[in-house]
Amino acid sequence: MEQTFFMIKPDGVRRGLIGSIISRLETKGFRLVALKMLTISPEMAREHYAEHQGKSFFNELTDFITSGPVVAMVWEGPAVIKAVRTMMGATDPAEADPGTIRGDMAVSLSENVVHGSDSPIAAAREIGLFFRDL
């Protein structure tokens, strides 16, 4: 069964959105198979977002993702990687459809509440980074 890495970013934790975000994925029918709250170190942030190294927003991104606790999760289900990306909505909340997490819960590109793996290769890499023992 396919698995994806999914994370509630520090803004989502600060704003008290953990329960309502998890509830959406549970209601959809996906299975939560691992969960932990942690504060990401600068080293881990750079590794997690390695694909964005050198981009103009990289430092802002790593500063933000390390700014407070996140909730890191592994979710399982049929075609879960793509389905969770669809449920997240567009990266920029201004373009995210109503009914999506970002469309309903965020207004800022840099503080867009959630992260989800965008491919099977990314899912395996990110699950390995956050849950080495899975």
Q: Which residues are catalytic?
A: 115
CB of 27 to ligand UDP, least distance (A): 22
Q: Which of 33, 35, 109, 129: binder of ligand UDP (CB under 6 A)?
A: 109
- Contact in structure between 62 and 49 (CB atoms under 8 Å): yes
For ligand UDP, the binding residues in 63-92 under the rule CB under 6 A are 91
Token readout for 114 is: 């959630």
Query: With binding defined as CB under 6 A, does residue 129 bind ligand UDP?
Result: no
Q: Which is nearer to ligand UDP, 53 or 133 (CB)?
A: 53
CB of 122 to ligand UDP, least distance (A): 9
Q: Which stretch binds ligand UDP (CB under 6 A): 17-25, 75-83, 93-101, 112-120?
A: 112-120
User: What gap in Å lies between CA 86 and CA 128, rounded to an integer?
Assistant: 23
Q: Is the four-CA dihedral 115, 8, 35, 58 of positive or negative sign?
A: positive
- List of residues contacting ligand UDP (CB under 6 A): 57, 61, 91, 109-110, 112, 115, 118
